[in-house]
Amino acid sequence: MAKPRRCRRCGAELAPPAPDGLCPTCAQPADTEGDTAPTLIMPPSAQGQIEATEQLPTHAGPDSPAPGAEPRRFGDYELLGEISRGGMGVVYKARQISLNRIVALKMILAGRLASEADIRRFRHEAQAAAALQHPNIVAIHEVGEHYGQHYFSMDYVEGRNLAELVHDGPLEPRRAAACVKTIAEAIQYAHDQGILHRDLKPSNVLIDASGRPRVTDFGLARPIGGDRGLTLPGTVLGTPSYMPPEQASGRRHAEVGPASDVYSMGALLYELLVARPPFRAETTFDTVVLVLGTEPAPPRRLNPAVPRDLDTICLKCMEKRPARRYASAQALADDLGRYLDGEPIVARPLGPLGRLSRWARRRPALAATAVALALFYANHLVCLYGLAVPGEGGWFHRFTTGLVIVWLVGAAAFQRLADRPRARWGAIYGWAAMDVVLFTCFLLAGDGPRSSVLIGYLLLIAGAGLRFRVGLVWLVTALATAGYLLVVADAWWRRPELLPGANAIVPFVLGLWVMGLALNLVLRSLRRLHHRDAASPPESQPEAT
C-alpha cells in the first residue's frame, strides 16, 4: 500500500495533487515525503511537462539516473540531480535534450512564489555572467522562463570547488599562488567589462577536470559605479569572512569598487594557505565586527611553510584602506607571477612602526590596556619625581609598580587564551573581571572613593561595550558597582576622612547602571537589526546566492 504523502515542513497529509505544489496547511512549498515528491513549483497546467513521477535525486550523479528511476523533465532539460542550493537558488545537473549536452541548471528556489526583487536579481546574475566570455569564468548558455519558473543554464564543471579542496588541508603555497593568479586575471577581465563580483570565496571557484579554476556565482555582481537599484543603501551583501570592510559596513556604493574584489581574493588566498578564513566567529554579527575592527593574523604565523613574499602579498590585498591594496586585480596577478617566477615582488613588508600598528589593530584590547597602563604609570612617576606629591613614594610606589606588572602579564595571558577559538569568550569574561578587581585594589591602596581616577569604572564598562556582548556589559557593571561599594565600605571602616557623602555615592552608583543600561540598549538594537537583515529576502542574505 502506498504511503501517504506528507509535508516535511508541518507534517500534514497531502491530498494528491497538492495545489500548485503548496501544502494546504502551512501554505508553503510542499516539501513532501512519501511515494512521490514534486520538487519544482509550477501550476497544474505545467504538471504534464514533468514526464516521470519518481522523486528527483538530491545529489549530482552519473549522466543517467539511478536504476528504477526515470529522469525528470523541465522543458528542454532532463534533470539528473541536485548539485547545491542556497537561500535564493538551487542548481541541478541536467542534460539539454536538444543539444545532448550536460549543463548546470539554476532556478529560483521560491519558484512561482518569487518576488519581483528575487526575479530581478536572478536575471541580473544571469545577464552579468552572460556578458563575460573568459576561459576561467563559468559561461552562461541560456536564460529563460518555463511556466513561471525562471532559470538559466551554464557550463557544468565536473570537479570540486576550492572550499571542498581546502577542507583536506592547506594547499601547497605555489599551487595556491598559481590558482589565485588565474582567478585574478579572470576578475580583471570582468572589471574591464564593467562588472564587480562582490562575492568571491572558495565555494564560488570550481576546479575543472584539467585543474583550472573557474569563477562562478555572479548573484551579487553589479556594474562598476552603480547597481541599478538592486541594493538598498546600508544593505550588507556578501559572505562576511571574505568581504572587505567597506562592503561589510554597508557604505555608499562609490566606496565598493575593484579594490573590494582584490580584498576578497586576498581572503581567498589566505584560506588556501592556512585552511581557514581570515575572520571567523560564532555569529555573522561577530564576524563583521572582526572584519571592521581587527587585522588578520599573518598566514606565516598559522602555517610556517608560507613563504615571506606570499605572506606579504596576501596581507597587502587585505589592507583595511582600499588605497593601500593592489590598484587592480591585474596588479595582484602580476605580483603573484613575480613570486612564481622567483623575481622580487612589488609589495613591501611593513616597517617597525607599520608592524606595531598592525599588531595593535589585531589585538586592540591588549594594546589599549598597555597604553592605558603606560599613561597611568607615567602620571604616577610625574607625581612622585616631578611634583613630589606626598604619599606617592615608599610602599605605594612599590605597590603601584607591582600592580602595573601584574596587570600587563595578566592581560597578555588572557589575550593568548582569547586567541584560541574554544577559550575565546571565557578568556574575555575573565579578563574583564580581572580589570575591575585590579582597579579596585589600586583604589583601596590609594585615595579610595575620593580618587581622581574613579572614572575608571565607567571606562571599564564602556570598554566592555566594545566587545558587543550584552552579558559582558552587565557583568562589568555589576562588578564595578560591587568594587565601588567595597571601596566606600573600606573608607568608612579604616579612613572616615575619605568617606564621601550619600549625595556623592548614590549618583555615582546610578551613573554606573545608567551607563550599563544605555550600552545594553544600543547592543540589543544592533543585534536586532542584524537578525532582521539575516531574516530578510535574499538581497540581504550573505549566503543567499
Annotated active-site residue 199? The verdict is: yes
Yes or no: say if 71 and 63 are a contact pair by the CB < 8 Å rule: no
Give the start-to-end residue ranges of the domains of the chain.
39-155, 162-357, 363-534
Pick from 484, 403, 407, 404: nearest CA to 450: 484
> In whole angstroms, what is the distance from residue 209 CA to residue 206 CA?
10
- Residue 517: CB partners within 8 Å, gap ≥ 6? none
Pick the CATH number of 39-155 from 3.40.50.11540, 3.30.200.20, 3.40.50.620, 1.20.1250.20: 3.30.200.20
- Cell output for 252: 555608499
Long-range contacts of 68-73 (CB under 8 A, 24+ apart): 71/95, 72/39, 73/49
**How many CA atoms lie within 13 Å of 84's alpha carbon, on the beta-carbon side?**
17
Per-residue pLDDT of the chain (545 residues; tens, 9 = 90+): 455 566 655 555 655 544 444 454 444 445 554 443 333 334 333 343 333 323 333 344 444 444 445 568 888 999 998 888 776 788 999 999 999 999 999 988 776 666 777 788 788 778 888 888 899 999 889 888 888 888 989 999 988 899 999 998 999 999 999 999 999 999 999 999 999 998 899 999 999 988 999 998 887 888 876 555 444 444 556 788 999 998 887 665 557 889 999 999 999 999 999 999 999 887 888 888 889 888 898 999 999 999 999 999 999 999 999 999 999 999 999 999 999 999 999 998 877 887 788 888 888 899 999 999 999 899 888 888 888 777 778 888 999 999 999 999 999 999 999 888 788 889 999 999 999 999 999 999 988 898 888 999 999 999 999 888 889 999 999 999 999 999 999 999 988 888 888 889 999 999 999 999 999 998 888 777 665 555 444 333 333 33
Domain 162-357 in CATH 1.10.510.10: yes
Specify the DSSP class assigned to residue 515. Answer: H
What are the φ and ψ backbone dihedral angles of 93, each rounded to 5 degrees? -80, 130
Looking at 199, 217, 286, 435, which residue is catalytic? 199
